Amino acid sequence: MITFGQIKKAVLVSIWFMFLTFPIMVIRVNPVEHIVEWRWKNMLLVGVGSFILSFVWHYFIRRKELGAQKAELGEWAEAIPLAQRIRSKKTLYKPALVAAGIFALAFPFIFSLYQTNIMASALIYVMLGLGLNIVVGLAGLLDLGYVAFYAVGAYAYALLNYHFGLSFWMVLPIGAALGATFGILLGFPVLRLRGDYLAIVTLGFGEIIRIILENWNEFSFGPSGIANIPRPSLFGIDLSVHNATIYIYYIMIGLCLLTIFVVNRLQDSRIGRAWIALREDETACQAMGIDKTKTKLTAFALGAMWAGMSGVVFAAKTTFVNPASFTIWESIIILCIVVLGGMGSILGVIAGALVLILMPEYLRALSEFRMLAFGILLVVMMVFRPGGLIPNVRRTYKFEGVANDEKS
């Protein structure tokens, strides 16, 4: 139902937008003919467009609030029994998983090499997002320097191959081990920190690694970086660029499946429950006898391990690394993947990575407006789905049968 208040808000928003965009959209100076053009038609379009968008925005916000109220009253839970919903989800889950697997395996043969290359990059970010999900989503430790472990893995492959000729498959576990080691080195100084202070320290750690790589020319070759990094070989056979791209895509499929399996098992394990307890209440977690030091260091080490492996694949894929590839913006993108997809949700992180990495590429048709459209979609997404694309379902345990046992 349309109310006067909604119309009033939409009118005020349209007036405000017309005021803000007046110098840009209405006034145009022609320096050749020394005249000023007044484009009042643009002002009318801005006013009408902002009025409609504002009205639609407030309408959906109102619908969201009403839906939340109904959910609190339990109307949806009564309409559809819980057991029926679980069975329906399980019934749909397996066919969807099989279809997704077939599509992923056939992707390089259906789409072009360019699309396959983009999808391989998206899978690298899936792996990075799942690693950061351990630290941020499960353990609740805000890490803004996650890109440092990504850089450690990339430079590990570049330098070990340059100096010692080690192959991709030999460096892959080394990159994982180095990432975990640096994760522990970061974890020790920040054991007593939480919240904003933890974010600032991890941000500084990421910048320290980048500055070292940029200025230590004897070690990392400075801003010029390291080129001619070999791509992965297949049983010692060097592949062409086309075949190597497809090969890296399938490598990333395998590594992502391994990451999903390990993260899922960790989430359901004893250490996973300790991470969740640490995220919910650190003081209560420690009071229950959980070793806070061990729990935090394990989260940092395991999260950084996947970043190290992703860095090795990134170096092999691009055949070139330099410090400019590991800025703070990379950490922000990976954090956005976790938050947008759903903190603590494996499927959510996968969906968030695919959306955040693939969408800018497919919005190139909008030219210079693609990032504006991308930002608007993110804002709309976070307003109407604050829990993420696929939010993590909080597990609840219900104890039943006590009365029946006593009667028997």
Each residue of 75-123: pLDDT tens digit? Answer: 444 444 444 444 444 455 677 778 888 888 898 988 888 899 999 999 9
pLDDT tens digits for range 177-186: 999 999 999 8
Sketch the domain layout of the chain as residue ranges.
4-75, 111-384
CA angle 221, 226, 231 (to 5 degrees): 160
**pLDDT of residue 7 exceeding 80:** no
Q: What is the pLDDT of residue 281?
A: 82
CA angle 273, 276, 277 (to 5 degrees): 85
pLDDT tens digits for range 205-238: 889 999 999 998 888 888 888 998 998 888 777 7
Residues 116 and 108 sit within 8 Å (Cβ to Cβ): yes
The strand pair at 35-38 and 27-30 is best described as antiparallel
Percent of the chain with pLDDT over 70: 85
CA angle 47, 58, 5 (to 5 degrees): 80
In this predicted structure, which of 115-124, 154-163, 329-338 has the lowest mean pLDDT?
329-338
Residue among 320, 351, 323, 322 nearest 337 (CA): 351
pLDDT tens digits for range 347-362: 888 988 888 888 877 7
Which alpha helices (DSSP H) does 139-187 contain, by range?
147-164, 168-187
Question: d(Cα 159, Cα 97) in Å, to the nearest integer?
Answer: 39
Q: Which residue has the tokens 């028997």?
A: 408
Residues 140 and 279 sit within 8 Å (Cβ to Cβ): yes
CATH fold for the domain made of 111-384: ABC transporter involved in vitamin B12 uptake, BtuC (1.10.3470)
Residues 304 and 131 sit within 8 Å (Cβ to Cβ): yes
Mean pLDDT, the chain, rounded, equals 82
Name residue 28's beta-bridge partners: 37
Question: d(Cα 164, Cα 352) in Å, to the nearest integer?
Answer: 38
**pLDDT of residue 144 exceeding 50:** yes
Question: d(Cα 59, Cα 1) in Å, to the nearest integer?
Answer: 9
Other Cβ atoms closer than 10 A to 334: 28
What stretches of 31-174 adopt beta strand conformation (E)?
Answer: 35-38
Q: What is the pTM of this model?
A: 0.79
Residue among 208, 196, 219 nearest 145 (CA): 208
Sequence-distant (6+) residues with CB within 8 A of 198 are 141, 142, 143, 190
Q: Which two tokens stand for residue 241?
A: 């660029």
Q: Which two tokens stand for residue 148?
A: 């440092």
Q: Which two tokens stand for residue 85?
A: 């919903």
Greatest mean pLDDT among 58-72, 236-250, 251-265, 349-363 lies in 251-265
